[in-house]
Amino acid sequence: MSPPVAPPAWSRWLVPPAALSVHLSIGQAYAWSVFKPPLESSLNLSGTQSALPFQLAIVMLGLSAAFGGTLVERNGPRWAMTVALVCFSSGFLISALGAETKQFWLIVLGYGFVGGIGLGIGYISPVSTLIKWFPDRPGMATGIAIMGFGGGALIASPWSAQMLKSFGSDNTGIAQSFLVLGLSYAVFMTLGVLLVRVPRTEGPKGEDKDEAKDAANAPSVLSGVQVSANSAVRTPQFWCLWVVLCMNVTAGIGILEKAAPMITDFFADTSTPVTVSAAAGFVALLSAANMAGRIGWSSTSDLIGRKNIYRVYLGVGAVMYALIALFGDSSKPLFILCALVILSFYGGGFATVPAYLKDLFGTYQVGAIHGRLLTAWSLAGVLGPLIVNWIADHQKDAGKHGASLYNTSFIIMIGLLVIGFVANELVRPVNARHHIPAPREAADVERQQSESA
Amino acid sequence: MSNDSSQSPPDRRPLIAFAWLWVGAPLVYGLYELVLKAKQLFTG
């Protein structure tokens, strides 16, 4: 399949909703926990077992984004969105069959393996295209899409809970919910498949004033430094950014993973303890901060620069952790504020990284490079919860309680953020020996467009 | 020369509005549910 080239006067404002239709769908992954209790009771599973489909899905997200990135670049965003749609939706349909027949392995295979491939390919599918359409505001453009990934759970979580209430929480009710989700997401993602276009090399020509203004800003597809994905992974810049992303995500997950028990433990011995429902409200507020950070901080990076915004994420993030560790248990508003800021930086870090990659490596294979960088997320996804849970368990065994369960974790998080800060400082422009010669880029784009004509 | 002006490009604004509504409506629903839940932090 050739990349779908935009006809003349195609508006670039049609591309973000195309991206959002995919990211809002695959963001459902973060709402998996809604299905855990009913699965455990109806299929007689342990908590560890019921988490397996989600864990495999996240592993497959990292693997398919890393290894499928070059294919996505070669075949274009429509191919990638189609693959994401087919895998993600059929993952639900296979899981529905698994739930109905009480075959848990089918749910692991469907949601975890097949659906996970859809997550990875879907996650990177619009990134490169958005950056090419919005060379003047790449942070904002990728921020919109990646905000969708955060927003997906906000939609799927109450919707799935409502379906389980209507269909029942037994295996048949779960199967029906999976079926509805699979079919609905297939329809919803179709918009992205139909709308997405890659820009013409000469840029769109707007007829009216707005379009003309857009066109003036819009795509000069391959200008500046261009580095292939294979060359990029051999540069120190890629690995510095890998460390930056890994440290930033680890620090965010450190809070996100245990947010509800953390706020409860912090204020357990005070005159105003936190109730279970208030803790749930805190988790919801963190989700909002995560989402707002994705669009807000990423758009800000277009104004102040990518390196500066990561200085803020990592430097101010470390200060926020220090404030929680020192004064968090004495002031609830301070604890909440610091946690919200950290989570907004967590989201911002995810959303800004494609634009940072574009600044360093150009747009030539930015989607594939982004896919490879997401392996940092996979490691951080294991590292963050591991640090916080392991330390909290050991402190509890040692007879400690309250805020002291988490203080060691916070000090480790500060150390990790400092490592990330140093890695960001080490980022320099890529050496010219890694650049792709200009005629080759032009020839590649010409070939893609003539194939699609 | 003259056929350029007779072939004006289609107006994309209805399609843009539809596409943003398509993704915006479920997002607003999700945000509404989020606000309801987040309120528990102050009331619960």
Please give the torsion angle defined by the CA atoms of residues A367, A448, A15 and A295, in that order, rounded to the nearest 10 degrees.
20
Token pair 């989201």 is found at: A347
- Please give the pLDDT value at position A259: 86
Cα(A339)–Cα(A66) distance, integer angstroms:
30
Domains of chain A and CATH, by start: 12-217 (1.20.1250.20), 229-434 (1.20.1250.20)
Q: What is the mean pLDDT of residues A64-86?
A: 93
Residues of A within 8 A of B31 (CB-CB) are 151, 154, 288
**Does the CB of B28 have a partner CB in chain A at under 8 Å?**
no
Answer whether residue A390 shows pLDDT above 90: no
Contact state of B9 with A9 under an 8 Å Cβ cutoff: yes
Residues of B within 8 A of A275 (CB-CB) are 44
- Please give the pLDDT value at position A191: 97
Mutate to test the interface with B, among A24, A154, A191, A283 (most CBs of B within 10 A): A154
Provide the residue count of chain A: 453
Task: Give the ipTM of the model, two decimals please.
Answer: 0.86
Q: Is the dihedral of CA A320, A323, A329, A331 positive or negative?
A: negative
Asked whether the beta carbons of A420 and A247 are under 8 A apart, the reply is yes
Asked whether the beta carbons of B21 and A264 are under 8 A apart, the reply is no
Asked whether the beta carbons of A443 and A233 are under 8 A apart, the reply is no
Residues in Cβ contact with B40 at an 8 Å cutoff, skipping those fewer than 6 apart: A277, A278, A280, A281, A284
Helices (H) and strands (E) in chain A, counts: 21, 0
Cα(A334)–Cα(A263) distance, integer angstroms:
12
Cα(A333)–Cα(A338) distance, integer angstroms:
9
Residues of A within 8 A of B37 (CB-CB) are 280-281, 284
Span A120-162, pLDDT tens digits:
999 999 998 999 999 999 999 999 999 999 889 889 999 999 9
Span A252-273, pLDDT tens digits:
887 887 888 888 888 888 888 8
Alpha-helical runs (H) found in A9-137: 15-26, 36-43, 47-75, 77-100, 104-107, 115-124, 127-133
- Please give the pLDDT value at position A361: 95
Q: What is the mean pLDDT of residues A225-236?
A: 93
Residues in Cβ contact with A290 at an 8 Å cutoff, skipping those fewer than 6 apart: A150, A252, A256, A343, A344, A346, A347
Token pair 């926020």 is found at: A320
Cα(A90)–Cα(A182) distance, integer angstroms:
7
Token pair 């968090």 is found at: A328
Distance from CA of A167 to the nearest CA of B (A): 20
Cα(A304)–Cα(A311) distance, integer angstroms:
11
Contact state of A17 with B23 under an 8 Å Cβ cutoff: yes
Distance from CA of A148 to the nearest CA of B (A): 8
Mutate to test the interface with B, among A162, A194, A277, A286 (most CBs of B within 10 A): A277
Chain B residue whose CA is closest to A278: B41
Distance from CA of A152 to the nearest CA of B (A): 8
Asked whether the beta carbons of A120 and A64 are under 8 A apart, the reply is yes
Q: What is the mean pLDDT of residues B32-41?
A: 87
Which conformational region is residue A224 in: left (phi greater than 0), alpha (psi within -120 to 50 degrees), or beta? left
**Does the CB of B25 have a partner CB in chain A at under 8 Å?**
no
- 3 state SS of A227: strand
How many CA atoms lie less than 13 Å away from A69 in the CB half-sphere? 26
Quick one: what percent of chain A has pLDDT higher than 70? 91
3-state secondary structure labels for all residues of A307-331: HHHHHHHHHHHHHHHHHHHHHHHHC
> Mean pLDDT score of chain A, rounded to an integer?
89
Span A333-387, pLDDT tens digits:
999 999 999 999 999 999 999 999 999 999 888 999 999 999 998 888 888 888 8
Q: What is the mean pLDDT of residues A103-131?
A: 95
**Does the CB of B4 have a partner CB in chain A at under 8 Å?**
no
Mutate to test the interface with A, among B18, B34, B35 (most CBs of A within 10 A): B34
Answer whether residue A302 shows pLDDT above 80: yes
Asked whether the beta carbons of A354 and A65 are under 8 A apart, the reply is no
Q: What are phi and psi of A206, to 5 degrees?
A: -80, 145
